[in-house]
Amino acid sequence: MSGRGVLITGASRGIGRALATAFAQQGDRVAVHHRGSPAPLGELPGDGHVAVRADLADPGAVRRLADEAAQALGGIDVLVNNAGVFLHHPVTDLTYEEWQAAWRQTLDVNLLGAANLIWCALPHMRPGGRIVNVSSRGAFRGEPDSPAYGASKAGLNALTQSLAVALAPRGIAVTAVAPGFVETDMTTEHLTGPAGDDIRAQSPFGRVARPGEIAEAVVYLASPAAEWASGAILDLNGASYLR
């Protein structure tokens, strides 16, 4: 088989879609994970791609996802943990039961789902493999109205750095990217609404990121040239938050 086998979660739209397209354009074979998109593959360039469906909050489904992707791709050379949920759950506005449910749902997908998929993908990865986790600016600046999201992404950063050390002896590099606002269908309501100008003004460039900009960074971190970046968390927020 030509190209590498690349498994990308949440790859049917938004950043994930841009990621799938970018890897496919360079000749890689992509396993497009989705939770129920009617046309997850779309018009990806090249061939050898496959759609794989799973609920990342279900550990059994995660294991089947890794095995199915590996079988279709002939192994997994690159894993990109991109899927995530973002729930509005201010601590002062919820019942105790609603608060617990928001935390469970967020952590099950954003952190535990990613951790479980890494475990399940590792038997299918060879030396030279790459794992890239899509984190968030919110891991550093906080998310007051969505605290579980910020905490899940902070946990994902810690997981990234822990596994960068643990997997280096196996020749596998682990990195993360931490975007700010990105122009996708999930953010359209915010960007076109009353708060849109304020959101764009967070960056001195006066705009938000394009999905392709995130994809280009991930493609580099997943490349053979980026082994020495292992353990890095790359901010992609247009200087809207500096640390």
Segment 29-47, tens digit of pLDDT: 999 999 998 888 988 999 9
Quick one: pLDDT at residue 118? 99
| 90 has pLDDT over 70 | yes
Q: Is the pLDDT of residue 211 over 90?
A: yes
Largest CA distance in the chain: 54
Contact 117, 61 (CB under 8 A): no
Domains in the chain, CATH or no CATH each: 5-236 (3.40.50.720)
The predicted-structure confidence for 195-208, as pLDDT tens digits, reads as follows 899 999 999 999 99
Share of the chain above pLDDT 90, in %: 92
Extract the tokens encoding 116. Answer: 């479980």
Burial of 161 (0-12, 13-18, 19+ CB in 10 A): middle
pLDDT for the residue 18:
97
Banded model confidence at residue 223, pLDDT cuts 50, 70, 90: very high
Q: What's the rounded Cα separation, in Å, for the pair 129 and 11? A: 19
| Cβ-proximal residues to 63 (8 Å cutoff; 6+ apart), any chain | 116, 120
Phi-psi sector, 178: left (phi>0), alpha (psi -120 to 50), beta: beta
- Annotated active-site residue 149? The verdict is yes
| Burial (Cβ within 10 Å: 0-12, 13-18, ≥19) of residue 198 | exposed
pLDDT of residue 189: 82
pLDDT tens per residue across span 114-164: 999 999 999 999 999 999 999 999 999 999 999 999 999 999 999 999 999
Which are the contacts of 142, defined by CB distance < 8 A and separation ≥ 6?
Answer: 150
| In the chain, % of residues over pLDDT 70 | 100
What is the structure's pLDDT at 69?
98
Q: How far is CA 77 from the centre of its chain?
A: 16
Indicate whether 1 pLDDT > 70. no
Cβ neighbors of 121 (< 8 A, separation 6 or more) are 7, 66, 69, 70, 76, 79, 131
| Residue 85 φ/ψ, nearest 5 degrees | -120, 145
